[in-house]
Amino acid sequence: EPEVTQTPSHQVTQMGQEVILRCVPISNHLYFYWYRQILGQKVEFLVSFYNNEISEKSEIFDDQFSVERPDGSNFTLKIRSTKLEDSAMYFCASSVDVNTEAFFGQGTRLTVV
């Protein structure tokens, strides 16, 4: 069964460093998303991506964040100059269409120390 895969599963980084979280969406999906979940709390939308550009982003997704689809399969989230409060589980998701279910990856746990 096709699935969304994320790497790494756990990333520890020092405050101020840059991190790149990687995702491989399901191959025939056209919409890609990043969400985050802090300490098992509410899942928060960060950004959606379609046709090689950002469709929508939340107020959380400021200049510190960027997304890229560098090739036909990967979808990355870059966080520049990480802060302690960026520590969270980051989920990638993809969907065929805007109004269909999104399939989520297992997540990357980011710990900023």
Partner 1 sequence: GDSVTQMEGPVTLSEEAFLTINCTYTATGYPSLFWYVQYPGEGLQLLLKATKADDKGSNKGFEATYRKETTSFHLEKGSVQVSDSAVYFCALTNSGGSNYKLTFGKGTLLTVNP
Least distance between partner 1 and beta carbon 45 (Å): 4
Among positions 43, 60, 74, 83, the unique one binding partner 1 when judged by CB under 8 A = 43
Neighbours of 27 (CB within 10 A): 9
107 contributes a contact to partner 1 by CB under 8 A = yes
Under 8 Å between Cβ of 91 and 40: no
Both structure tokens of 46: 């960060």
Dihedral of the alpha carbons of 54, 58, 62, 65, in degrees to the nearest 10: -60
Q: Is 101 in the site for partner 1 (CB under 8 A)?
A: yes
Q: How far is CA 50 from the centre of its chain?
A: 14
Q: Residue 1 and residue 73: Cα distance in Å, rounded?
A: 17
Please identify, using beta-carbon distances, which residue of 14 and 62 lies nearer to partner 1. Answer: 62
Q: Shortest gap between Cβ of 103 and partner 1 (angstroms)? A: 7
Q: x-or-dash pattern for partner 1, window 47-76, by CB under 8 A?
A: -x-x----xx-x------------------
Residues at the contact surface with partner 1, assessed by CB under 8 A: 31, 33, 35, 40-45, 48, 50, 55-56, 58, 91, 93, 98-107
